[in-house]
Amino acid sequence: MGMTIAEKILAAHSGHDTVVPGQLIECSTDWVLCHEITTPAALRMLEERGMDRVFDPSRIVAIPDHSVPAMNIKAAKMYQKLKSWVQEKGIQHFYDVGRGGIAHVVLENTGLIKPGQTLVSGDSHTCNAGALGMFATGVGSTDLAGAIYAGKVWFKVPETMLIRVRGEFRPGVSPKDLALEVIRRIDADGANYMVMEWVGETIDRMDMEGRFTLTNMAIEAGGKTGIVAVDDTTRAYMAARGVTPDQYTEYTSDADARFKVVIDIDVSTLEPTVAFPHIPSNGRVAGADQVKISHAYVGSCTNGRIGDLREVARILKGHTVAEGVQMLVVPATQAVWKQAAQEGLMEIFVDAGATVSYPSCGACLGMHTGVLGPGDVCVSSSNRNFVGRMGDPSAEIYLASPATVAASAIAGYISDPREYNDAPAAGSAAD
Ligand SMILES: CC(C)[C@H](C(=O)O)[C@@H](O)C(=O)O
Ligand code: SF4
């Protein structure tokens, strides 16, 4: 019996020639990502047991992102805890506030994490990095503590779900719509503890940003992680970050690998999709129902990248955000912020009446920046629309692509972005 990409990576990291789903393994972690929300608890656990050490300071990446810049004293203390640990242990890769942004998006761009490697973090969207052909997953605080201490984690080898994607996206339809459609089809627990491996001609043609959006949302279907095999697009992406193929291992799933579930999807008939409250699997066609909004949010580790901001600017240019709607644009990282500024996108957002904020998770999980009040209705490019996610429990969140968020902000209600299909690229991309 052949193996899947994930099984091959896990075998290579646990000293086995082969592994099978269900097998318990002790897996070595190439990388541990630490942010200021879950790391302090793991560190306390280690300190209380006299196990206060790190397995390898060059293999830990620390990026504060959720409650930064701190909005209250508690947040300031969590940041301080992460930072003092970084200094004390000599953690080599620290992307401090002002030098980083949303951890998953910062990390994917560093050239540190590579195909064939393993990554864990105390954050559920760690699956994001699977687009690089690596095994990346979120773990709880105890496992995080173990990973920091020993560079090892216990896993039950997951089953793999194969998602075969064919067809060409129609203009105005994007990988986010595909992610929402697949989650709608299989349900919010449809990929429970499975690896979601994305293959097919559509994925082959997709850029890295689109692939990150897909793997990022694996957890919203209950997946252990998402993964995409390495191809020329991945190699070019790594090369642009100074990483050559001799520095990483490429794995592909064998022809006779065992997939627990196989899904086929043709995106050529896919429509802009919106996940209605309060679960990401509640997808419907954008604009089919009249939903008046009070807020529009573009950002997060799912859709706060430069390509997302370009798409939003393309639609917003020459328009204004509807009266009564607050639009918030949060570039995922400092680098995205700078790029957007250089391309003239910031001016387009401001002219349209949108607020642009510093890179952070704040708005995505209702911690700070644009917290929703009672009865507010937000269309969001993020990944979760649970009750109370962005603020008051009575607020509603509709998940959509950046294009749908932009079109909706202009209209004041959830709209189909395809009415802007003729709008040309904006900013310097238009030159
Ligand atoms: C705060 C953090 C632990 C959490 C996660 O694990 O996903 C957050 O990033 C989220 O998206 O809800
Ligand atoms: S951007 Fe949102 S989903 Fe992503 S890590 Fe931050 S809080 Fe979690």
Q: What is the pLDDT of residues 330-364, one digit of tens each?
A: 999 999 999 999 999 999 999 999 999 999 999 99
Rounded distance between C-alpha atoms, residue 54 and residue 145, angstroms? 9
Cα–Cα distances in angstroms (integers) from residue 307 to residues 10, 146, 168, 255, 298, in the given order: 32, 37, 18, 34, 12
From 301, 308, 368, the mutation candidate for ligand 2 (largest count of ligand atoms within 8 A of CB) is: 301
From 176, 298, 364, 369, the mutation candidate for ligand 2 (largest count of ligand atoms within 8 A of CB) is: 364
Smallest CA separation from ligand 1 atom 7, residue: 124
Residue 429 in this model has a pLDDT that exceeds 90: no
Q: Is the CB of 274 under 6 A from ligand 1?
A: no
Alpha carbon of 235 to ligand 2 centroid (Å): 26
What one-character-per-residue DSSP string does 144-158 give?
Answer: HHHHHHHSEEEEEPP
The whole-number pLDDT of residue 430 equals 81
Of 301, 384, 297, residue with least CA distance to 336 = 301
Residue positions in the annotated binding site for [4Fe-4S] cluster?
Answer: 301, 361, 364
Of 394, 383, 391, 309, residue with least CA distance to 352 = 309
Quick: pLDDT tens for 246-263. Answer: 999 999 999 999 999 999
Quick: pLDDT tens for 28-84. Answer: 999 999 999 999 999 999 999 999 999 999 999 999 999 999 999 999 999 999 999
Note the pTM of the prediction, 2 decimals: 0.99
Residue 431 in this model has a pLDDT that exceeds 80: no
Band (365; pLDDT cuts 50, 70, 90): very high
Beta bridge partners of 378: 295, 397
Of 360, 363, 431, 357, residue with least CA distance to 395 = 363
> Residue 47 half-sphere exposure, CB side, CA atoms within 13 Å?
8
Beta bridge partners of 384: none
ipTM score for this prediction: 0.99
From 68, 102, 125, 297, the mutation candidate for ligand 1 (largest count of ligand atoms within 8 A of CB) is: 125
Tally Cβ neighbours within 10 Å of residue 179: 31
What structural domains does the chain harbor? 5-266 (3.30.499.10), 275-420 (3.30.499.10)
Q: Is the CB of 365 under 6 A from ligand 2?
A: yes
Which residue's entry shows tokens 């043709």? 266
Task: Check: CB of residue 6 under 8 Å from CB of residue 135.
Answer: yes
Quick: pLDDT tens for 138-197. Answer: 999 999 999 999 999 999 999 999 999 999 999 999 999 999 999 999 999 999 999 999
Alpha carbon of 33 to ligand 2 centroid (Å): 14
Of 423, 398, 156, 166, residue with least CA distance to 312 = 423
Alpha carbon of 351 to ligand 1 centroid (Å): 32
The whole-number pLDDT of residue 26 equals 98
The whole-number pLDDT of residue 230 equals 99
Pairing, β 273-275 against β 283-285? antiparallel
Tally Cβ neighbours within 10 Å of residue 76: 15
- The CA dihedral of 301, 299, 180, 384, to the nearest 10 degrees, is 80
- The CA dihedral of 19, 25, 26, 28, to the nearest 10 degrees, is 30
